[in-house]
Chains A and B, each alone.
Chain A
Amino acid sequence: MTATASPTGAPAATQATPGDDAVGTDEAVGRARRRAADRVLLDTVRQGRWWTGALAVANVVVAIGNLLTPAALATALDTVLGSARGASEGPLLVLGGVLAAGIGATVLLELTQPYSAAASTVWLRSKLVDRVLALGVVGLRRFDTGDLVTRLGGNTATASAAGAVVLASALSLATSAGAVVALFLLDPLLGAVFLVGVPVGLALITVFVRQSSELYGRYQQLQGDVAGRFVDAMAGIRTIRSAGTVSREVDRVLVPLPELSRAGRSTWQMQGAVTWRLLLLAPLVEIGVLALAGWLVTTGRLTPGDLVAATGYTTMGLVFFDQGSILIALSRSRAAARRVAEVLSDPPAAPRSGSAVLPAVGDGTGGELVLAGVTVCSGGLTLLDGLDLRVPPGCAVALVGPSGSGKSTLAAVAGRLIEPDAGSVRLDGVELSTLDADELRRAVGYAFERPTLLGTTVLDALGYGIPAPVPEDLVAAAVAAHADGFVRRLPAGYDTRLADAPFSGGEAQRLGLARAVARRSRLLIMDDATSSLDTVTEVQVARAIEHALDGRSRLVVAHRAGTAARVDLVVWLDGGRVRRVAPHAELWSDPAYRAIFAAERVDTVASSTEEVSS
């Protein structure tokens, strides 16, 4: 994760956020962001097209149906009660019609809501995936991987629900308002009694929202504690297995359980307390209205049917209290849209590609990489500072330096995973940013310290991104990277699905290396791509790669002295600048150079050889 999260070595936390340097405009920035979020929301809702339109129509019909029902019921009731002999069917037919229309509209509502949400989600997700892929590594500087997955998965779905939520809110408000108006129309006193209860209800809702977030926070914290212990035990499973202590581990994971149970009970008790208050309020308002209506029946101002209607409108008026949950849903949608909008519209800008092509060279021939005055800044830090570098055609060049010296940043700039803030990067004389995107990826291959293997099967993963991969070439690349042996030992060999073959770090590294070798690019960039291999394997792999890549150019980030010793030229980086360029043997006499390897990971060939020779 760390390898993907900060491939340039820049900690994500130090990223500058807009507004840092202009304190006075914080509010304006916030407003602009909210506007951007609402724009995304609006665009998303529009994608529902006529499904959203039909949903709106359904909502209007449902609201009208709801509001007409008590009145129609009252008229029907008065008719059937008043004309015990010789009834008129008219009001009954009206009631039946109103109910039927309500059902039809509700069916339409239930159908159009998911249709419109699905259309919105598909659109928003595709837009966001394109953006994430266009941002590439640059995006990962600003957003954590897990965070991006949430934005793409959960947040898009929540944002897409906004249309339905807004309409539901409007429906609920219109119904409530209409019901209050209806109560006033029945008798102004009824409306007045109803309105007295409303402020109390609003106060209760506020209390609920505030209390619940605290209690749920405590509960979720304890849940996280259990999950953390669980993950710890899973990570140490080989120790637990060999020590035979699994039942003790189960107990350890469950230690916070009593506390969790207590916190859980508090949340239920809180819910009970809130329900109790709401249950007291709602019916007492209803009883108040009902008592008043009954008295009005006695005085002849209302009919018995009106009494039923008054009850119905009171219940309907109280639908207003659902507004609390609807408002929460709406604010959730807006928050989600804001998180989506941050990815879509906030800086950094996605790198653009040109249409230039590279001068043709024969297969197996290396390219010439020239960096001139390359500067890369991130979060106020200068990672590369006006750096010049040349990788001659067909040469292997190692980047060596203490951590933070800019090795990985340089590796990322050299193949345009990130763009320099200043300076130029040219491959065979062509500026990378003017290159056609496909041409660039054909020309430059990457192997990483922790590669992510993508695709369906092992073979597919090796040819991932190659337009028409030749299986024999892929296997040859696997042989070169010393991956062929363990792949053939898998249950289905090269056809084993990636999901069925969890690879160790060293195995994944060799597959990533094979994937890069298979591309036959004129420049291969290896960013610490053999670090998980033991010293025995690293030597074997390095030899095979040299043979397989004979004649092509290589840029290698080296942490081990042995790696640096095997290349043509070492570029010694320090503080984002080139300190010296020379063969390893020449640099080795410098104690400062040797100190780099002593401070690096301990399993270096240098430290082993020192022991052997001493």
Chain B
Amino acid sequence: MKSEHLYNYILGIADNSLILGQRLGELCGHGPSLETDIAGTNISLDLIGQTRSYYQYAAKISGENKTEDDIAFLRLERHYKNVLLVEQPNTHFGYVIGRQYLFDVFHLLLLKELQSSKDETLAAIAKKGIKEVSYHKRFSGDWVKRLGDGTPQSAAKMQEAIHDLWPYTQELFDMTDADTAMALEGVGVDVSKLKKAYYKEVTDLFELATLEVPQSTYFSRGGKKGVHSEHMGYLLADLQYMQRTYPNMQW
């Protein structure tokens, strides 16, 4: 039972990186400028690299004859544990940046705690990831400021994105059964404790960016339990296409 919790815990973290990595990958060749196009795919590469380390570890402890590819490509929608935030579409650049920043702040807080995990593999992946994710947050935070404190049009678009993405933020701090079990053992992170620091950091930056902090009282949740938004199926159709069409194919 212990390893089942650990397996689910690893997937809970890794699926966020995979799905956000996939979303950013969609920008390849479609970014608004060459630099942001390259940035999006670079961040995607980091996230998918981290995902591979997590999935390789999960495959090892699964006790079945699984590979990282099986975990990435051959699950059904209900078995993906990512939060709703990361599967939201690239509506426009404001959404890409808003989604990225709202996730990066959480991601960095999470990894900073995870690096002191009693589980050596998770601690090592976290330590490696901190260096990369700090850079992501620098990029997304800079753009939130630039767009928010930019022209009336860029400010309006950034505000729109923040407003629409805000209701997905609280799910980040929900504890699943695997989260609770792993936090008790000193392996996992109690994400509910990161909430205060998260909202402080995010609202401070929004103020700098002259953006209004959304006052929404409604928050969507469900991704962590496998209940995803309408966007997820389309994303998975893209992600899984090759493995579903040519099972076990290799590059």
Q: Do A and B come from one complex?
A: no
Could you list which residues of chain A lie within 8 angstroms of chain B, going by C-beta atoms? none
Could you list which residues of chain B lie within 8 angstroms of chain A, going by C-beta atoms? none
